[in-house]
Every structure is written in structure tokens, then in C-alpha cells.
Chains A and B, each alone.
Chain A
Amino acid sequence: MTQDELVWLVETYSSTLLRVALTRLPTAADAEDVVQEVFLKVLDRAPRFRDGEHAKAWLIRATLNQASDLRRRRRDDAPLEETALSVPGPSEERPDLLSALRSLPPAYSSVIHLYYYEGYSIKEIAKLLALPAATVGTRLARGRRRLGELLKEEIL
């Protein structure tokens, strides 16, 4: 991969990837760390992309994987009581929107984000995440339902 291609990837996709990472991580700094790591992987592995869409799909998946890894490491390191508190329960007060999103299974939160923020169709998300469209649709519906329960309001 040439220097120009790498610069183009960073300039074009950083904003999208930072926000994708936020669906699994609690702070902007965490998201920045993860996206930075993803671009370092691109430099080291030099994957060959067919076009911009191919690159974007690879980067989104790599970001979600990297964010999950970080979250898993944090969970493994955290004391038990802290881990339990990080998931809002039914008796707690209404969590803010992003906290509620992060408490969903990762499979749901990433689909909700790509649909509501990035504006992708179900078929486009299916391509990006290498999933059947029916699975994406189901995750979107279930994620939306669970998010509504957490926020105690209807999700339109």
C-alpha cells in the first residue's frame, strides 16, 4: 500500500471509524486508541483493497473487532462489582442514550449505529458485516426493542 493510499484511508474514514468504535467503548479516548491501532494494522499487514467500499468494510470490521478486544480486556481486568454496575438494570434510573446502546449485545449496537447514524440500508449493512440481510434485520429489530426498554421510550 502506498503512502498516498494510506493517507487517503485515514482522512476519509477516521470520522466514521471513531463513531463506530464508540458503540462499544465508553470514552472518546478509547475510540481514538482503537482506530489508531486499526490504521497501524493496515500499515503492518498491507491488506489489498479492491476499492473504497472494500476498504471501508474491512476497516469497520477491524474497528469493531479491536473495540471488542479492548472491552473484553477491560472486563477481564475489572473487579467483579464494577463489571456488574456497568450494565444498567431494570431498577436503575434511565441511562443516557449511548450508555444504553453500549449495554446492548455488540451484535445489536453496531447494526443500530450503522443504520441510524451512517444511514446504511439493511442490505448495505449485511455486506459490510458479512452477514445475511435477514440476520441484520432481526438484530436491528431486537436491538431497537431492547434499547426502547432501557430508555423507557419508543424508538422511532
Chain B
Amino acid sequence: MTAKDYRDAVDAVSFRPDFVPHVLSLLEAHRKEPVSMKKPALKTVLVAAALIAALAVTASAAVYFLSPGQVAREVGMDALAQVFEGEDAVRVNQTETVGDYQVTLLGMAPGVALSQLDDGVNAQKTYAVLAYTRTDGTPIAESGSDLTVTPLVEGYAPWQVNAWSLNSFLASFTQGGTLYCLLECDTVEPFADHTVYLAVYPGTHSVPNTQIFSFSADGAIAYQPGQEGVLFPLPLDPAKADPAAVAALTQEDAPPASSAPEADPADVQADVQLLPR
């Protein structure tokens, strides 16, 4: 078999020619459906969520939130929900103000093997769940916010180790006027011998830079004067620190020298040869 044989075999499979317009009309119809039709069990879930949250909420929180497990379930990640409900997850429930928002870090699961969630994938991930409410009490209706969320690590420049270098994904939705965000990124546990933060600051997809953060010679990270934002310290187990993994990660993320040729997969194991396509 050659690559051409493979491409020919795949291309021989014909899909419905109107697939794209079909999906677009389906999405349009779905968008127009009332919420109760999209998720028939939502009201039941909400009632249960309110009851559970009422029992679990801390004295400092002014509103009732879904638990991290319920947030994971709402975005369709049932296996992750079980992780959040297990002993490896950490409930934080810390609230800070960022601009017009009260931001609550509800909890996190620092090191989740994706093989627990998806066969065929074995990467380690960190998950964190946040809830946003408006400081003036008006409900949030939109499913996104103008805040940026990123992990940062003391000792590493914010523009070196952040949500972008750690391949983060953010899923969000609103419920009861609260915006919930589920952040996924490469596990931060290898950095556990440093202080690891979850930074939240104004700006949509605003990559950390020197205008937002200061990075001192001793590795401390702070917001620049006048810059709004919060740094939630993440509770990690220092025993999980892995300096070798960190070295590999930070070396891999370093920008290549401009004169360097396009890198070959040099880190591929010795039994792998480059295959012709």
C-alpha cells in the first residue's frame, strides 16, 4: 500500500453532496429551538444543582454555583465529571473581583490522564472550573466573556509558559445568569515545586505580555500597576513535580532560531523511520 492507495480508498467513499448545507440548516433549526426542547432534563438538573450547591456553598460566596462535576457534565464530559466528584479533585471556592466580574475558582483536577476520558489518548491534563457573575448583580446572558484565563508559573515568564504553550481549551456556557468556564490544558503538575497560578484578567484571548505582567529576576509574577486581574494560586502536590518533564516542555516551546531549518521529528523513538507519503 502506498499513500496514494490510501488516499484513493478514502476518496472512493462518497458522502452526501449536500452535507454542508444540511448541517447548516440543522444548526439553524437547533439554534431556534427553545432551551427546554434542547435539553428536556435541564429543569430537573437545575433544581438538583441548586439543592446540592446550597449544601456545598461556602459562607463567603453570595450565590449558588454548580459544582465542578456538574459543569463538566453540562459540557458533555461525563467521565471528567466523575473525576471532579472523586478524591483527586480539589474544591477551591475562592472569589475575587476582576473589573465588572466576580470570578470564582470553583475547583480543579490537577492531573487527569486523558486515557481515563478517551481511549486512544494518554496525555495528562489539568482542568479548572470557574464561575463568573457580574458585580452589579445583572445576569450574564452571553456564553463568553471578555476575560482571559491562563495558567502561569513562578520562575517562568508569563509569555513563555501560559495557556497558549500549554495547549489550553476553554468551554463555557451560562446558566441562571452565571457564566461557567471549564479550562483544559496540559498538566501543570510537573511545575508543582513552583507556585502555579490561574490568572484571570480583562481581554479576549489576550496573550500574556510585558504590558500586562511584570516578571522579576527572582521569577516572581505580578500584574503591572493599573492592570486589573487576579492570580489564583493552584493547590498542587509538590511531590508531583517533574523537573525533567518541565525541561522537555520548556525546551520544546522555545521559539526556534530563525536560521534553523524546519525541525524533523528528532524526538521520535529510534524504531520509527520517516515514512514516505
Q: Tell yes or no: B59 within 8 A of A by CB.
A: no
Q: Tell yes or no: B2 within 8 A of A by CB.
A: yes
B-facing mask of A106-144, CB < 8 A → 1, else 0? 110010110111010111000101111111111011001
Q: Which of A1-57 contact B (CB under 8 A)?
A: 1, 3, 6-7, 10-11, 14, 18-19, 22, 28, 31-32, 35-36, 39-41, 43-48, 50, 54, 57
Q: Tell yes or no: B267 within 8 A of A by CB.
A: yes
Interface of A is mostly: helix
Expressed in whole angstroms, the Cα–Cα distance for A119 and B10 within the complex equals 14
Interfacial chain B residues near A98, Cβ < 8 Å: 9-10, 13
User: How many residues of chain B are within 8 Å of chain A by beta carbon?
Assistant: 54
Interfacial chain B residues near A148, Cβ < 8 Å: 1
Q: Evaluate whether A117 and B10 lie within 8 angstroms (CB atoms) in the complex, with A10-B27, A68-B118, A131-B121 already known.
A: yes
Q: Which of B143, B169, B265 contacts A122 (CB 8 A)?
A: B265
Asked if A35 and B23 make an inter-chain contact with CB atoms under 8 angstroms apart, the answer reads: yes
Interfacial chain B residues near A58, Cβ < 8 Å: 169
Expressed in whole angstroms, the Cα–Cα distance for A154 and B3 within the complex equals 12
Residue of B at shortest CB range from A111?
A: B120
Residue of B at shortest CB range from A148?
A: B1
Q: Which of B161-206 contact A (CB under 8 A)?
A: 164, 167, 169-173, 186, 205
Q: Tell yes or no: B83 within 8 A of A by CB.
A: no
Q: Tell yes or no: A151 within 8 A of B by CB.
A: yes
Interfacial chain B residues near A1, Cβ < 8 Å: 143-144
Expressed in whole angstroms, the Cα–Cα distance for A1 and B272 within the complex equals 41
Interfacial chain B residues near A134, Cβ < 8 Å: 267-269
Q: Evaluate whether A137 and B1 lie within 8 angstroms (CB atoms) in the complex, with A68-B118, A130-B123 already known.
A: no
Expressed in whole angstroms, the Cα–Cα distance for A133 and B31 within the complex equals 39
Expressed in whole angstroms, the Cα–Cα distance for A137 and B13 within the complex equals 27
Asked if B275 and A144 make an inter-chain contact with CB atoms under 8 angstroms apart, the answer reads: yes
Q: Evaluate whether A28 and B272 lie within 8 angstroms (CB atoms) in the complex, with A117-B7, A130-B123 already known.
A: no
Interfacial chain A residues near B172, Cβ < 8 Å: 45-48
Distance to closest chain B CB from A19 (angstroms): 6
Distance to closest chain B CB from A102 (angstroms): 12
Interface of B is mostly: loop
Q: Tell yes or no: B261 within 8 A of A by CB.
A: no
Distance to closest chain B CB from A126 (angstroms): 8
Interfacial chain B residues near A78, Cβ < 8 Å: none
Q: Which of B111-165 contact A (CB under 8 A)?
A: 114, 118-123, 125, 143-144, 164
Q: Tell yes or no: A76 within 8 A of B by CB.
A: no
Expressed in whole angstroms, the Cα–Cα distance for A76 and B272 within the complex equals 35
Interfacial chain A residues near B121, Cβ < 8 Å: 61, 107, 129-131
Residue of A at shortest CB range from B114?
A: A130
Q: Tell yes or no: A155 within 8 A of B by CB.
A: yes
Expressed in whole angstroms, the Cα–Cα distance for A48 and B24 within the complex equals 19
Expressed in whole angstroms, the Cα–Cα distance for A6 and B27 within the complex equals 9
Q: Evaluate whether A96 and B9 lie within 8 angstroms (CB atoms) in the complex, with A10-B20, A115-B275 already known.
A: yes
Asked if A151 and B76 make an inter-chain contact with CB atoms under 8 angstroms apart, the answer reads: no
Q: Which of B1, B23, B123, B173 contacts A45 (CB 8 A)?
A: B173
Interfacial chain B residues near A133, Cβ < 8 Å: 265, 267-268
Q: Tell yes or no: B30 within 8 A of A by CB.
A: yes
List the interface of chain B (C-beta within 8 A of A).
Answer: 1-3, 5-7, 9-10, 13-16, 19-20, 22-24, 26-27, 30-31, 38, 75-76, 114, 118-123, 125, 143-144, 164, 167, 169-173, 186, 205, 263, 265, 267-269, 271-273, 275-277
Q: A36-B26, A61-B121 known; 12 other A-B pairs, CB under 8 Å? A: A39-B27, A44-B76, A48-B170, A68-B118, A105-B120, A106-B120, A113-B10, A122-B268, A140-B272, A141-B272, A144-B275, A154-B1
Instruction: Offer 10 A-B interface pairs, CB within 8 angstroms, sorted by A.
Output: A10-B27, A32-B19, A48-B205, A68-B119, A105-B120, A110-B120, A130-B114, A135-B122, A137-B269, A141-B273
> Shortest 5 CB-CB distances between A and B: which pairs?
A137-B268, A137-B272, A107-B120, A122-B265, A46-B143
